[in-house]
Structure 1
Amino acid sequence: MYHLTTDHQLNASCNNSLPFSNWTVRDDALQLPTFTTAAKIRVIITCILCGISAFCNLAVLWAAHRDGKRKSHVKVLIINLTVADLLVTFIVMPVDAVWNITVQWLAGDFACRLLMFLKLQAMYSCAFVTVVISLDRQSAILNPLAISKASKRNRVMLTVAWGMSVMLSVPQMFLFHNVTIIHPEDFTQCATRGSFVTHWHETAYNMFTFSCLFLLPLVIMITCYTRIFCEISKRLKKDNLPSNEVHLRCSKNNIPRARMRTLKMSIVIVSSFIICWTPYYLLGLWYWFFPEDLEGKVSHSLTHILFIFGLVNACLDPVIYGLFTIHFRKGLRRFYCNATTKSNLDNMTVLTASFTCATNSLPLKREVSPASQDRFMLSSDDNHSKAEGVFQPSRAHG
C-alpha cells in the first residue's frame, strides 16, 4: 500500500525529513528511483492484467444486462463487486503502469490529489462490497425466513459501503501533493511529505487505513463464515447423519441447493480477496514500522510481485461468477460467441457471412433460455428434495 504510491523508496525519502512549508526540496543524499528491469516487468504484467480484467468484468456486466428479467439480490451484489473491480482495472492499474514508466509524477498537483483519492476509493469499494456479500450470506443461512427482506437490506448495506469508501478516501486529497526536488536534478513526485507533523501521525494514519481497508473487513468476513459453519454443523448434528453422508446430503436436506451454491461462490470470492492481498498488506505493515529493515532485506522485485498478485483478484472474480452461477456462465459464453462471430464476419465476404449467420442461427432457435434453464434446475432440485420428505423454500435464490 504505502499510501498507494508507486515506489516506497521515494515515498520514504520524501517523508523522513522534518516538516517544511516549501514543497521544493533540496536533498543531496536522496537516491532517485529509476525505471528498473523489475519495474518494466511489472508494467507489462499490469497491462496484461488490465486487459484481462477489463474484458472479463465487462463481459459480466454485459451478461447481467442481457439477463435483465432475473430479479435477484445476489445478482445485484455481483454487479456491484464487478463495478468495484472495474474501478481497480481502469484507475489503479493504468495509473500504476504509467507512473512506473515515467518514474516521476508529470500530471500536476490536482491530478495527484484526485487520482490518489480515486485509487484508495477503488480499493475500499472492493473490500467493502466483499464484506456486504459475506453479511448477505450470513443472513441467508442463519435467518432464511427473512429472504424477502434481502433486497432492501442489501441496498442499504451497499449504499453504506460505497458511501464509506468515498468518505474514507477524502483525506488523500489533502495529504498528497506535488513535491519537487531540485538536487541532484529536478524531480517531481506525488507524495505526502509535509502533511504529517510527526512520524507517528503518519504511522497512525497508515494503521487506520490498513484497519479499514483490510483488517476490519477480514475480521467481519471470518466472523460471518465462522457463524455460517457453526450453523451448518448444528443442523447436521440435529439430523444425526452418518459422517459419510454429511458432504453428500448437506446441500439437499439442510440448505436449498441454489443457496448452497451461492454460499460456495461467496466463500471463494472472499478467499480470493484474502489470499491475493494479505501478503502485500503484511509487507506494508513491515514498511511502516521497520522501514530500515525493509530496505536492507526485501528487494523491490518482491514488492512488485506482491502488488501484482493483489491485482490478480480483480481478474479472478468474474471467473468465479462463471464457475458458480449458471446464467452468468451462459451469458459469458454468449458474449464470447458474439465477439468471435463478429470478428469472423469482418473477415468474410458478404455471401459467406450470410451463409454462416444462417447456419449459426439454427441451434439458437431451439436453445432454452438461461432463465428457463435456471428455473428448471431449481424446480428439479426441489422435487428431488420433496421426494425425500425434506422441506425447501420454493424460490431459493439466497
Structure 2
Amino acid sequence: MVESPVNEVVMDHRVLNDWSNVNNTNGTMHWSKDMVFNDGHRLSITVYSILFVISTIGNSTVLYMLTKRRLRGPLRIDIMLMHLAIADLMVTFLLMPLEIVWAWTVQWRSTDLMCRLMSFFRVFGLYLSSFVMVCISLDRYYAILKPLQRSYNRGRIMLVCAWLGSVICSIPQAFLFHVEEHPMVKGYLQCVTFHSFVSEFHNWLYQIATMCAMYAFPLIVFIYCYGAIYLEIYRKSQRVLKDVVAERFRRSNDDVLSRAKKRTLKMTISIVIVFIICWTPYYIICMWYSLDKSSVDKVNSLVRKGLFIFACANSCMNPLVYGLYNIRGRMNNNNNVSVNNRHTSLSHRLDSSNQLLQKPLNGNGNVMAAAVAATTKLAHVVRLKTNGAAAADAQSAPQSGTAPHASELDHDDDDSISVVTVKCQEPISCQK
C-alpha cells in the first residue's frame, strides 16, 4: 500500500460525503490521505492527550470542592456547577479518549453497536455542558431579577430538562453513524455517516439543527438573561444616584447586589464568555461550509479539526474560571476576617472609653474633656480603617455646657461596626 496524491487536502474522513477514491495500479493499492495516518491524526493525539490531563485534574478538583461545600449547606448554584463539572468530565472521559484511540488506529476497529454508542456519547457531554450553562443563566436571572418568585423545584426541573434535552439531541447520532466497509478496499472499516441522508439538503438541515441546539439557542439565552440583569442593575444604580434623600448611602452597584451575588454573577458570565470564545470560531467555519462548500474545501482541513479541538477545550477552561474566582473569594474572606478582628479590637477599646464616661465624675472637668478627646480620636481611627462611604466628623470637646451626646459613624453593610456613643450620666461642665 502506497500513499497516493488523491485527496491530498482531506485529513479526516468525517468531512467527506462519501468514500474517498483509491487507485489500483499494477496490483498496488494506493490509498487516499484520509485513510492513512497523517498530520491530522498526530494533531488529535497530541492535543487531546494534553487536554485530557488538564480537564481530568481541573474538573475532578472542582467536583470535590463543590461536594464538600454541599455537605455544609447546599446552594442551588453549587449544584448546577456540579452538573457542569460532571458534563465536562463526560467530555473528558468519553470524547477525548475516543478521539485519541480513533486517530491512532485510523480505521474503526470495533463493532457497529460500539460505533453507534460512542457516537451518541461523543456529543452528549457537549450538549449537556451547553444546556447546564443555560440553566445557570436562567437561575441567575430569577435570583437577581425575580427574587420573590422562589421555587425549590425550579433548579431541579431545569437540570432534568437539561439532561433529557441532551439525550434527545444526541439520539440521532446513534442512527446516523454506522460501520461501513470501503467499497474498493476489503477489510477497511470505518464509522461513518455515509448514505444516512436522503439528500444533501437533509444533511445540511441536520447540521443547522445541531448548531442551533448546541450553540445558537444557548447563546440567545445568555444574551437575554445577562443583558436583562445588567440593564436592571444599571436602572437601580441610576435611581440610587438620583435619590437625594438617600444621599448618604450613595455607592456603586454593590448597593443593588450583595457581594456574594456579584461574585457569582461575574463567575457565571466569565464561564459564558469562555464558552462563546471556544465555540464561535468552529461554528463560523461550519456556517461557511454550509453556505459555500466549494470555497471551504480549499481551506486545509487541519484548520477545521483544530477549531473543533479548541471548542472541546472549553471543558478545560470552566474549572480554571471556577478556581480563579474561588481563590479570590477565599482571599477576600481572609481579608474581611482580619479587618473584622481589627474592628472588634477597636470596638472593645471604644466600649471601655464609653463605660468610663458613663460613670459619674465628681473630680476636675479636665478629666472629662481628656476622655472625650481620646474617644473622638479613636472614632477617627475606626473610620479610616473601615474605608466606608461618608463618616460623620468627630465632635471636639466644647469649652462650656454639657458633654457631647453622641458621635456616630456610617459603615458598609459588609463591614459593620458598633456605633460609638458618648454619654454622660449627669451634666458636668467641661473646662480647659
Name the amino acid aligned to 1:226: G
- Say if 2:82 is the partner of 1:106: no
TM-score in terms of structure 1 length: 0.74
C-alpha distance in structure 2 between counterparts of 1:128 and 1:47, whole Å: 26
Cα distance, 1:390 vs structure 2: 8.1
After superposition, the C-alpha distances for 1:340-373 in whole angstroms (9 at most, x for unaligned) are xxxxxxxxxxxxxxxxxxxxxxxxxxxxx99x97
* 8 Å CA contact 1:47, 1:93 repeated in 2: yes
Q: Distance in 1 between matches of 2:202 and 2:287?
A: 15
Q: Distance in 2 between matches of 1:256 and 1:12?
A: 49
CA offset digits 1:115-169 (Å, max 9, x no partner): 11111111110110011111111112211233x42x4211110110111100111
Change (3 A) 1:82 1:315: same
Superposition deviation, residue 66 in structure 1: 2.5
Instruction: Identify if the C-alpha distance between structure 1 residues 388 and 129 changes in structure 2 by more than 3 Å, giving closer, same or farther.
Output: farther
| Higher helix content, 1 or 2 | 1
Q: What is the CA distance between 1:37 and its match in structure 2?
A: 2.8
Mapped contact 1:323–1:329 kept (Cα < 8 A): no
Which amino acid in structure 2 is aligned with residue 177 of structure 1? H
1:11 CA drift (Å): 3.0
Alpha-carbon distance in 2 for matches of 1:199, 1:224? 36
Q: Where does residue 83 of structure 2 map in the other structure?
A: 80
Q: Deviations over 1:321-348 (max 9, x none)?
A: 1222369979xxxxxxxxxxxxxxxxxx
2:12/2:40 contact within 8 Å kept: no
Partner of 2:322: 321
In structure 2, the CA distance between the partners of 1:315 and 1:9, relative to structure 1 (3 Å rule), is closer
Q: Report which of the two structures shows the higher radius of gyration computed on alpha carbons.
A: 2
Instruction: Report the CA distance between 1:292 and its aligned residue.
Output: 2.8
Cα distance, 1:290 vs. partner?
A: 2.9
The aligned counterpart of 1:22 is: none
Aligned residues: 326
**In 2, distance between residues paired with 1:56 and 1:288?**
35
Structure 2 unaligned residues grouped into runs of 5+: 1-9, 24-30, 244-249, 345-387, 390-408, 415-432
Q: Between the two proteins, what is the percent identity of the paired residues?
A: 34
Match of 1:273 in 2: 275
Shift of 1:178: 0.6
CA–CA distance in 2 between the matches of 1:212 and 1:285?
A: 14
Partner of 2:214: 213
2:142 pairs with 1:134: no
Tell me how far apart the structure 2 counterparts of residues 328 and 66 of structure 1 sit (CA, whole Å): 16
Change (3 A) 1:161 1:275: same
Asked if structure 2 preserves the Cα contact closer than 8 Å seen for 1:253 and 1:390, the reply is no
Q: Give me the TM-score of the superposition, normalised by structure 2.
A: 0.68
Residue 321 of structure 1 contacts residue 328 of structure 1 at CA under 8 Å; is this kept in 2?
no
Contact 2:237 2:253 in 1 (8 A): no
CA distance 1:36–1:197, change in 2 (3 Å): same
Query: Which residue is equivalent to 2:121?
Result: 118
Other-structure match for 2:96:
93
**Distance in 2 between the 1:39 and 1:272 partners?**
26
Given residue 83 of structure 2, which amino acid in structure 1 is its aligned partner? N
Q: Secondary structure at the match of 2:148?
A: helix
Are residues 76 and 177 of structure 1, via their aligned partners in 2, closer, same or farther at CA, if it must alter by over 3 Å? same
Per the alignment, residue 44 of structure 2 pairs with: 42
How far off is 1:273 after superposition? 0.5
* Contact 1:27 1:181 (8 Å CA) reproduced: no
Partner amino acid, structure 2, of 1:162 = W
Q: CA deviation at 1:288?
A: 3.1
> How far apart are residue 184 of structure 1 and its match?
4.8
Secondary structure in 1 aligned to 2:182? Answer: strand
Q: Secondary structure at the match of 2:196?
A: coil
What's the CA shift for 1:196? 1.1
Quote the residue 2:284 is aligned against.
282
Matched, 1:299 2:286: no
Q: 1:166 to 1:139 in 2, by over 3 A?
A: same
How much has 1:220 moved relative to structure 2? 1.0
- Look up the SS of the partner of 2:56 in the other structure: helix
2: CA distance, partners of 1:251 / 1:268: 18
* Contact preservation (8 Å) 2:49, 2:100: yes
Alignment of 1:6-21 (within 5 A): 9-13=12-16, 15-16=17-18
Q: Which protein has greater RCO, CA pairs closer than 8 Å, 6+ apart?
A: 1
> 2:144·2:229 contact (CA, 8 Å) conserved in 1?
yes
Counterpart of 1:71, as a letter, is P
**Cα distance in 2, alignment partners of residues 205 and 158 from structure 1:** 25
CA distance in 1, matches of 2:159, 2:262: 22
Quick one: distance in 2 between partners of 1:121 and 1:238?
45
* Mapped partners of 1:289, 1:31: distance in 2: 27
Residue of structure 2 in register with 1:19 after alignment? none
Contact 1:60 1:318 (C-alpha < 8 Å) held by counterparts: yes
Q: Name the stretch that deviates more: 32-41 or 173-182.
A: 32-41
2:180–2:189 contact (8 Å) kept in structure 1: yes
Deviation at 1:100, TM superposition (A): 1.4
Does the 8 Å contact 1:26/1:182 carry over to 2? no
Letter in 2 for 1:305: G
* Structure 1 portions without partners, runs of 5+: 1-6, 17-24, 243-247, 331-368, 393-398
> Is 2:11–2:40's contact at 8 Å kept on the other side of the alignment?
no
Matches within 5 A, 1:226-237: 226-237=227-238
Equivalent positions of 1:325-340 (< 5 A) are 325=326
Letter in 1 for 2:265: L
Report how far residue 251 of structure 1 moved: 4.0
- Alignment equivalent of 2:53, drawn from 51, 54, 76: 51
Contact 2:222-2:272 within 8 A present in 1 as well: yes
Give, in angstroms, the shift of residue 75 of structure 1: 0.6
Note closer, same or farther for the CA distance 1:97–1:290 as it changes in structure 2 (3 Å cut). Answer: farther
CA RMSD of aligned residues (A): 3.3
Paired residue secondary structure (2:153): helix
Query: More deviation in 159-168 or 311-320?
Result: 311-320
The aligned amino acid for 1:312 is A
Contact 1:46 1:308 in 2 (8 A): yes
For the residues of structure 2 that align with 1:154 and 1:86, how far apart are their CA atoms?
21
Q: Distance in 2 between matches of 1:329 and 1:177?
A: 50
